[in-house]
A and B are shown apart, each in its own frame.
Chain A
């Protein structure tokens, strides 16, 4: 299960909506076990695309340092799907770098954004519950 604070969820959805018509992305800071995301790091999408995303590596570095200073770590990544469901694409699975991370998808397909989270280990997708507290 992945827990998000209400602020993290709101900031994440706002960043995804602001990124339209392109995909938006960012990183989640928090504690790995239990998995609590308490800080959101919105990043630029270097791919600047409606179908692909690339987290800006310098912003990734800065987020990593900030999380460490807070006694936290980066525990996952989020990105939007502008016209498809909140489910990992084959590209997402192929490029998932870390089996410990939480892969959060925000679908903007419908008027109400849908937030779902997945673990991706050795190419296998497992959905997990998302709790907003």
Chain B
């Protein structure tokens, strides 16, 4: 099922400069696998080698932070918007 994935500026260079791309999958993990298949430069940028979400990104399914859903096992449906945002913090 196609979902829209919105990329932060820092990742757009790996996706031909696009702010938004389409990807398929039943779960968030599927979507990110499909995303890396389309744009290999995104490998390791959102999901770690250990298969977890990077701590310096926040991922939303529509208005919900997926860390409070099922993380990478979160189900996605046709038309969902997945937003990837850099975690913004400092001191």
Q: Chain A: residues with CB nearer than 8 A to chain B?
A: 23, 25, 27, 32, 47, 51-55, 57-58, 60-61, 64, 73-74, 77, 79, 88-92, 95-101
Contacts and interface: CB of A to CB of B under 8 A. Distances in A.
Contacts of A100: 9-10
Nearest to A57: B58
A23 B88 CA distance: 14
Contact of A55 (B60, B65, B89): B89
Main secondary structure, interface of A, reads: mixed
Interface of B: 6, 8-10, 56, 58, 60, 63, 65, 83, 85-91
A98 B8 contact: yes
Contacts of A55: 88-89
B19 to A, nearest CB: 8
A74 B85 CA distance: 11
Contacts of B6: 64
A47 to B, nearest CB: 7
B87 A97 contact: yes
20 contacts: A23-B91, A27-B88, A47-B89, A52-B89, A52-B91, A53-B89, A54-B87, A57-B65, A60-B58, A60-B85, A61-B58, A64-B85, A79-B90, A88-B90, A89-B90, A95-B89, A95-B90, A97-B87, A100-B9, A100-B10
